Structure 1
Amino acid sequence: MVNHRRRACNRGRKKMKKIVSMIVVSIMAMSLCACTDKADQSASAGGSSVQQSEEFTEQLSTDSAAESEAESTEEPATRIITDSTGRDVEIPSRVESIVCVGVGALRYSCYMDAAGLVVGVEDYEVKEGMSRLYNYVNFDKFKDLPVTGTNGEPNIEEIITAGPQVIVMSSYASADADDLQAKSGIPVVMVPGSDTTLDDNAYETIRIMGELYGKEDRAQELTAYLKGIQKDLDDRTADIPEEDKPSVYVAGVSFKGAHGFEGTEAYYGPFELIHANNLANTTDQTGAFDIDLEQVLTWDPEIIFLDFNGMSLINEDYADNPDYYQNLTAVKEGKVYSQISFRSSASNLETALADAYYAACIMYPEQFSDIDPVEKAGEIFTALLGTNPYEDLKEAGYEFRQITIGE
């Protein structure tokens, strides 16, 4: 009985050992799995950290490259421009405000479509002038601006108050560029300006202004257009034999004020462009001058052109001395024609070119049979000024037409 109980007890112990062993094995297995999972998780976490680190480093590199590129493409605050006198002038990278000093500086700035940059003008620009079309079409911009000078003489205090970034000064100004720059503390850029129709100075002024205003495309466009005008006029007239050219005389030309029939000009700009037989060229004079009226009778020009600026004086003289005029063949035959005044504060290029085409249509009708001078004037005005004020000129009495002196 006792032995039976012992055997039963032993069997119970063995069974318990098996159960305990199974429990231990299970715990060990679970621990091993847990360790394996942690190792896997650790490895995974480690891999993720490495990947994140690599991505962060790559982003830093990208950001640094972008910053370097931005720094390399950032526009500098200033730049250097060489003006017409060879001076190297430091100016803002983008010029947004100017004051013009001297004849031609504002005119050519308007041709360059830069009238909106102007923050001060010379005294005569606050008075509307139809003989200066650049002023006429931009008068609303100019009329209320501060007066910063008088006829090429700058008012330094007013310029400083106006606060332009750059002073643009033509060679016709009375000031010294370095002195004005030193006294005002404002960069001064010189341009040659031009007192004739088309010359190297005109093109150089356009080129410098294109660089100054950041309008190189406009400078190239304007230069190409003007050279095309020159070529067209030259191609039509250069080969006309001298004997086939009518003799011509222009009167009423303005210089230092209005002049009557005696006021003429040798190498008159519009005539030079069309190779005209200008009788004043046979004198020893250059430019505008007063001629002895008896010389005009001796010449007896085939065609006479009258500048509107002198018309009132010419009509007054006609009233006092009609016989003089009636002895001129051109007057008797009705071959007296207009020239729209282009010389006011030096030459106004757009009007001078329009005058050249009109005169050519009168002198050489065959060579210019395809040209309507009024339409051509409108084209030229629009190309240089951005608008066509011909009808306004006509309403004011300035137009291309035949003239009867005394009326």
Structure 2
Amino acid sequence: MEKQNVLIIGVAACICVAIIVTLFLATAHPAGEGTPGPENTDADRWKTITDMRGVEVTVPDDPQRVVTISRSLIDTTMYIFGVEDRIVGGSIYEKPIIKGTYVWNGTDYTVNTWIGKILNPELDRLTNVGGFGGPYGPPNVETIAGLNPDLVILRDLGEQEENTGRFLNQLESAGVPVVVLKYPSCYEHPSVDTMYEEIRVLGAVFGKEDRAEEIVETIHSRVTSIHDRTQDIPPAEQKRVLYFGAPTYAKDKGGAGYAFGSGTTEVGMMEDVVHVRSAYTESGRNMISAEQLLALDPDVIILSTWSGYHPPRQLYEDTQYDTIQDLRALKEGEVYALAATPCKSERLEFPINMMIMAKAVYPDRCADVDLETWIREYIVELYDTDEATTDSIVDALMLEYLEIV
């Protein structure tokens, strides 16, 4: 009887171990360069994607739980694919911006809405996992693991190479497959072409290759239209443009604002698409003094969203900018703002800012373009939005403050 009990206990223990191993294998995630999926998993449940590192990553054939790191391009592309409900976490700003946090001269210029959140309000309710840049905190591997994702998609901004590499190693060691996209500034010469590649990689991940090509064509048609309007302007006649960030705290740090120079995505795109010359030729994005700004003497100043939306009126009228009132661009009224959105311009909507810039810098070349109509048509073609959603997106862009006739 005693031997029989021992035998029963032993058999039960073996069954328990077998169940545990089976469950582990069933839930294991393939990861890493060329790493195959679990041996007991049907081959058609997995596929190999070559990401923008040139790394072959084995991913689920139909990912269901996706973490997206670095906002906007990934989630809005997933929205167009119709798979936005599969996002379980990402670079999500957890504290909604409150109206009235940036008021200047009696007008509220607070940027309140991401276009991605207009399209998919559920983003606000997702878990923030951090990100490389922005108000999200550093990426947290434990938080990501707790979401039990079957895929992580990271858009590498190229600004924290060592930290990004360490993070990828941690994720892949944990058995989580990671597909990496490369932001334009990861390359020596930033180009819109790499953004098309990002969209195509996402199409391969979700089995939406045809839809990805439609997105690329929609964007490319607008970029080409802008490019063709200005491509015949001789270099010597191209306007010298300063792409400028004017955060409210710049004066406290002893500067007038941030100048964008060579190697930045913003300058690369405006030079290649709009055909202007950057007035600031130093490398990177740097704080400059009022004296440096006066010495640059740009033909045109383009203001980006930074620490709130900054209308051209601010540079013309705010006492913070008293020291630069002798700038020719200010005296001639050649200061313009881009559309108001609280994250980098290089999203699916970036042609909007390219057209805004082209119409501001070369108004004679774009005289036939009604800016709001052009923008509305682009949004509807890109996102297939209804009238109410299109209105919400246009309102978020704050076009009324651009100072463009």
TM category (shorter chain) comes to: 0.5 to 0.7
| 1:209 CA drift (Å) | 0.7
1:281-335 superposed Cα distances (whole Å, 9 cap, x missing partner): xx3x123222332343344433333334363899499544665444233323333
More helix as a share of residues: 1
Structure 2: distance between partners of 1:110 and 1:125: 21
The number of equivalent residue pairs is: 325
Structure 2 residue ranges without an equivalent (≥5):
1-41, 98-109, 158-163
Equivalent-residue separation in structure 1 for 2:339 and 2:147 (angstroms): 35
- Aligned 1:264-283 pairs, distance under 5 A: 264-267=259-262, 268-269=267-268, 271-272=270-271, 273-280=273-280, 283=281
CA contact (8 A) 2:115 2:393 kept: no
In 2, Cα distance between equivalents of 1:98 and 1:118: 5
Give the TM-score normalised by the residue count of structure 2. Answer: 0.66
Q: Structure 2: which amino acid aligns with 1:401?
A: L
Which of the residues 88, 106, 113 maps onto 1:119? 88
SS at match of 2:180: strand
Shift in CA distance, 369/290, structure 1 to aligned 2, threshold 3 Å: same
| SS of equivalent to 1:263 | strand
Residue 205 of structure 1 corresponds to which residue in structure 2? Answer: 198
Q: What stretches of structure 1 of length at least 5 have no aligned partner?
A: 1-73
Q: Is the 8 A contact 1:335 1:402 kept in 2?
A: no
Contact in 1 for aligned 2:92/2:123 (Cα 8 Å): no
SS at 1:81's partner residue? strand
- Distance between the aligned counterparts of 2:178 and 2:129, measured in 1? 14
TM-superposed deviation, 1:218: 1.6
Higher relative contact order (CA 8 A, sep 6+): 2
Partners of 2:129 and 2:144 within 8 A in 1? yes
Residues 1:83 and 2:38 aligned together: no
Q: Work out which of the residue numbers 285, 288, 291 in structure 2 matches 1:288.
A: 285
Q: Does 1:93 align with 2:61?
A: yes
Find the partner of 2:184 among 186, 194, 214: 194
TM-score, length-scaled by structure 1: 0.66
Task: String of CA shifts for 1:372-397, please: whole Å, max 9, x gaps.
Answer: 22222223334445546565564785
Instruction: Determine helix, strand or coil for the equivalent of 2:364.
Output: coil
Q: Is the 8 A contact 2:219 2:351 kept in 1?
A: no
Paired residues for 1:158-237 under 5 Å: 158-172=143-157, 173=164, 175-183=166-174, 185-195=175-185, 198-237=191-230
Which residues of 2 match residues 5-404 of structure 1 at below 5 A?
A: 76-102=44-70, 106-107=74-75, 109-110=77-78, 112-113=80-81, 114-124=83-93, 127=96, 130=111, 133-138=114-119, 140-151=121-132, 153-172=138-157, 173=164, 175-183=166-174, 185-195=175-185, 198-252=191-245, 261-267=256-262, 268-269=267-268, 271-272=270-271, 273-280=273-280, 283=281, 285-309=282-306, 311=310, 315=314, 319-320=318-319, 324-341=323-340, 344=343, 346-387=344-385, 394=395, 397=398, 399=400, 401-402=402-403
**Match in the other structure for 1:40:** none
SS in 2 for 1:232: helix
Q: Distance in 2 between matches of 1:239 and 1:103?
A: 36
How has the CA–CA distance of structure 1 residues 306 and 141 changed in structure 2, closer, same or farther, with 3 Å as cutoff?
same
Which has more radius of gyration?
1
Structure 1 Cα separation of the partners of residues 182 and 345 of structure 2: 14
Structure 1 residue ranges (4+ consecutive) displaced by more than 6 angstroms after TM superposition: 254-260
Letter in 2 for 1:155: N
What is the CA–CA distance in structure 2 between the aligned matches of 1:171 and 1:99, rounded to whole Å? 14
